[in-house]
């Protein structure tokens, strides 16, 4: 098990390129199963979850290789091979394979998907939505078996704007017979990217970017060159890293239009943010100011994936704050390690954490228990006196190409050991 060693209290300076989006790349990789011909995905992030998805595609007989233009995929020789259990159970995003394989093969037999332990994240919505499209599910010995003779278009109102369930319905609907209308759909940029990819391949999806999608099924999909957009969560991570170190950083290619609420919160805490032709320039304050209250929301609200980074920022800010988590019930696993580092924060119930800022944290050995919390502990190390060692870095590798390299190029004293 690897670890990251950080020696803190260095203001970040310079510029860093924002990698391709994890949350856009994974469903698009699943969507490649529906496409005939060659697909090139430019700017595809080289992260652990992408490598796991590539392994799944290869286990199904698909070609997936890194080439000069990015990731080259061809699924024409796909077979019905068995999905590798360790890849599926280790990555929640493998759930996208449900909709894609139903659309392509009419049948899926897989382990229950896994991933970070940040809450229950039940798949009931996924199963109910696909059931309305004529998919029959059976569970036996911990395995999920889904089958249909032909997915059928339907009208479905999502009880919650679940990103994953929206994307699963899209993947099944583009191969279904007739029209599918998804109401209450998630509006996240990653959903938009999936729709844009499929439309560029020949699909007919209307209402992209709204909460109501109309999908004409059964159209042939052909290979294309498609560029994965920059990762708004990585950009937000480095934005808060700049703030807590009183740094000055240009986030190259940051997706500013998808970060409006994050930028608003950062500016309310004292940061100066300016959009440029190259991306987003961030000037951190001498010391941030706590927002009185922040709650995570579905897009375009404040993203749950940046809640841990905001929490770290509040730990060293002036004043007090309450952060309310509305998406996942177990996002506060980072509270205990932050307390070890000297942060003054406490839980109020199960979904709210209260923070009273201190001037500095103190370096400790702490454990990453999930992806975003692990990255937030790296940020805590940046603002702590002495050395901080973060273990469990395999979680961080799931979403960041090389967080140590990126921060080191900005002047941080950080190494992977």
Q: What tokens were used for 404? A: 């140590």
116 is catalytic: yes
203 and 219 in contact (C-beta within 8 Å)? yes
112 and 71 in contact (C-beta within 8 Å)? no
CA dihedral 79, 83, 84, 87 (to 10 degrees): 120
Secondary structure (3-state) at 278:
coil
Q: What tokens were used for 352? A: 């709210």
Closest CA to 299 of 264, 268, 261: 261
Which of 44, 116, 195, 315 is catalytic? The answer is 116
Per the omega criterion (within 30 degrees of 0), is the bond before 300 cis?
A: yes
Residue 39: count other Cβ atoms within 10 Å of its Cβ: 25
Report H helices in 71-162.
85-89, 96-105, 124-131
Contacts of 232 (CB under 8 A, 6+ apart): 21, 189, 254, 255, 258, 259, 262, 303
Q: For residue 172, which phi and psi values (nearest 5 degrees)?
A: -75, -35
Report which secondary-structure segment, H or E, holds 16: strand 13-17
Q: For residue 116, which phi and psi values (nearest 5 degrees)?
A: -70, 145
Secondary structure (3-state) at 309:
helix
Report which secondary-structure segment, H or E, holds 375: helix 371-382
Secondary structure (3-state) at 87:
helix
Residue with tokens 């454990």: 367
The catalytic site residues sit at 116
């Amino acid at each position: 098990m690897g670890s990251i060693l950080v020696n803190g209290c260095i203001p970040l300076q310079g510029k860093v390129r924002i990698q391709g989006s994890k949350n856009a790349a994974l469903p698009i990789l699943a969507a490649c199963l529906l496409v005939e011909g060659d697909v090139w995905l430019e700017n595809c992030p080289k992260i652990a979850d992408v490598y796991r998805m590539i392994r799944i595609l290869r286990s199904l007989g698909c070609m997936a290789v890194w080439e000069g233009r990015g990731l080259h995929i061809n699924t024409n020789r796909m077979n019905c091979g068995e999905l590798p259990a360790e890849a599926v159970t280790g990555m929640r995003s493998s759930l996208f394979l449900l909709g894609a394989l139903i659309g392509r093969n009419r049948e899926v037999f897989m382990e229950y998907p896994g991933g970070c332990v940040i809450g229950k994240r039940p798949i009931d919505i996924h199963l109910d939505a696909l059931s309305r499209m004529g998919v029959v599910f059976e569970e036996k010995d911990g395995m999920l078996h889904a089958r249909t003779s032909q997915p059928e278009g339907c009208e479905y109102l999502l009880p919650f704007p679940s990103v994953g369930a929206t994307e699963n319905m899209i993947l099944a609907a583009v191969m279904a017979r007739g029209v599918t209308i998804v109401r209450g759909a998630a509006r996240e940029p990653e959903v938009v990217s999936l729709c844009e990819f499929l439309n560029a391949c020949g699909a007919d999806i209307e209402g992209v970017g709204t909460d109501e999608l109309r999908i004409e099924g059964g159209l042939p999909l052909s290979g294309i060159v498609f560029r994965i957009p920059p990762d708004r969560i990585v950009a937000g991570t480095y934005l808060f890293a700049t703030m807590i170190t009183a740094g000055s950083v240009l986030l190259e290619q940051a997706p500013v239009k998808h970060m409006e609420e994050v930028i608003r919160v950062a500016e309310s805490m004292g940061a100066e943010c300016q959009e440029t032709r190259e991306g987003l320039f961030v000037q951190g304050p001498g010391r941030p100011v706590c927002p009185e209250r922040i709650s995570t929301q579905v897009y375009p609200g404040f993203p749950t994936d940046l809640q841990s980074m905001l929490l770290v920022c509040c730990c060293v800010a002036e004043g007090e704050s309450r952060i309310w988590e509305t998406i996942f019930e177990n996002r506060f696993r980072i509270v205990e390690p932050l307390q070890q580092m000297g942060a003054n924060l406490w839980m109020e119930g199960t979904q709210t954490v209260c923070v009273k800022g201190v001037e500095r944290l103190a370096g400790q050995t702490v454990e990453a228990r999930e992806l975003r919390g692990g990255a937030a502990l790296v940020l805590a190390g940046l603002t702590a006196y002495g050395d901080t060692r973060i273990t469990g870095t395999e979680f961080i590798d799931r979403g960041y190409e090389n967080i140590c390299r990126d921060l080191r190029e900005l002047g941080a004293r950080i190494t992977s050991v």
